[in-house]
Amino acid sequence: MDKLIITSALTGAITVPSQSEHLPFRTEDIIGDAIKCAEAGAASIHIHARNPENGAPSSDPEIVYQIAKGIKANTDAVVCITTGGGMGMTPQDRLRGAALCKPELASFNLGSMNFSMHPVAKRFNKLGWNSDWEKDYVEGTKNFIFSNTFGSMEIFAETMKEHNIRPEFEAYDVGHLHNLHFLVKQGIIEGPFWIQFVLGVLGGITAEPRSLMMMIDTADRLFGAENYKWSVIGVGYPMEFHMASMGVIMGGHVRVGLEDNIFIRRRELATNPGLVEKVVRIANEMEREIATPAEAREILNLKGLDNVDF
Ligand code: KMH
Ligand code: ZN
């Protein structure tokens, strides 16, 4: 087995500050968490920008740049910049940060889907929200379609090729793997692939062991096991740790972070470094070694920190 690549997804665009006091949204706090996660064992840091004033998801490329630069100044972790963005952003908005920074990795979402967290709103309608935008944002996901058409996927592919960015393919359901296969057959994308199985989004496949097995079986059949590496993230608690454990024992890789899950144990809020530390403990118990950023670069064949623009 390869050494284990741990990705930390620090803040994302679905968790809102009312859900956790530990969710970083100020630029310096996002950078601070990235440094601590890298020290804890994360080889890759998945970043989104937030409005530093109120914590709302942002597509401002300047903020993305500041975050990426702050991480690079303090760690050699791989920086993976989102192109998934958040609700209300166009594909062009979503690409701006990656196009400016030309990172080693950027997310590449493999299909359109419902993408909802509206059940969370019920709880905070009772408890109260920290900021005005949160209620509308969370409730608004009930009617949100996360748009990744074939037209926009072509644009994502062209832009990433132009800037020599390796895509991290985000697959939320089995059909997304067939979409990737189609893009490959069309000559739009070439292997080998780095695929993140994002399981448990309301609108995608569940974060259950049998769902992950189906994703792996499908990817093996479409691409051949030797032509791709996979990582998994289970959205929500305790699914994040169930999927992490499977990633560890099956030779895949693992993503964790407050972007997708806010608990470390039942009813106990997590911190980003705490989530990485928990995966390291699971991996240690299973005698799976943890990859350094340098080893992750080798495993994923990345262009290196000297070739990014931040
Ligand atoms: N938070 C994940 C469910 C992206 O950034 O491109 C979605 C995600 C997408 O990570
Ligand atoms: Zn993300």
For residue 180, what pLDDT is reported? 98
Query: Pairing relation of β-strands 268-269 and 263-265?
Result: antiparallel
Report residues of the chain scoring pLDDT below 50. Answer: none
For the Cβ of 198 lying below 6 angstroms from any atom of ligand 1, the answer is yes
For the Cβ of 260 lying below 6 angstroms from any atom of ligand 1, the answer is yes
Atom of ligand 1 nearest to the CA of 201: 3
List the Cα angle 228/233/234 in 5-degree steps: 135
Q: In sequence order, what are the beta bridge partners of 114?
A: 145
| Pairwise CA distance, residues 185 & 181, whole Å | 6
Assessment of whether the complete model's pTM goes beyond 0.85:
yes
| Pairwise CA distance, residues 120 & 100, whole Å | 34
Specify the residue with its C-alpha closest to ligand 1, atom 7: 84
For residue 231, what pLDDT is reported? 99
Q: Taking the mean position of all CA atoms in its chain, how far away is CA 250?
A: 20
Note the ligand closest to the C-alpha atom of 198.
1
Q: Which domains does the chain have, with CATH numbers?
A: 6-307 (3.20.20.70)
> pLDDT tens digits, residue range 17-60?
999 999 999 999 999 999 999 999 999 999 999 999 999 999 99
For residue 34, what pLDDT is reported? 98
For residue 164, what pLDDT is reported? 98
For residue 169, what pLDDT is reported? 99
**Are the C-beta atoms of 257 and 267 separated by less than 8 Å?**
no
> pLDDT tens digits, residue range 106-130?
999 999 999 999 999 998 999 999 9
For the Cβ of 141 lying below 6 angstroms from any atom of ligand 1, the answer is no
For residue 192, what pLDDT is reported? 97
For the Cβ of 173 lying below 6 angstroms from any atom of ligand 1, the answer is no
CB neighbour list of residue 90: distance below 8 Å, 6 or more residues apart:
none
For the Cβ of 113 lying below 6 angstroms from any atom of ligand 1, the answer is no
**H runs (alpha helix) in the chain:** 27-40, 61-74, 91-101, 119-127, 132-140, 150-162, 174-185, 209-223, 239-250, 272-285, 293-300
The tokens for 146 are: 């996360």
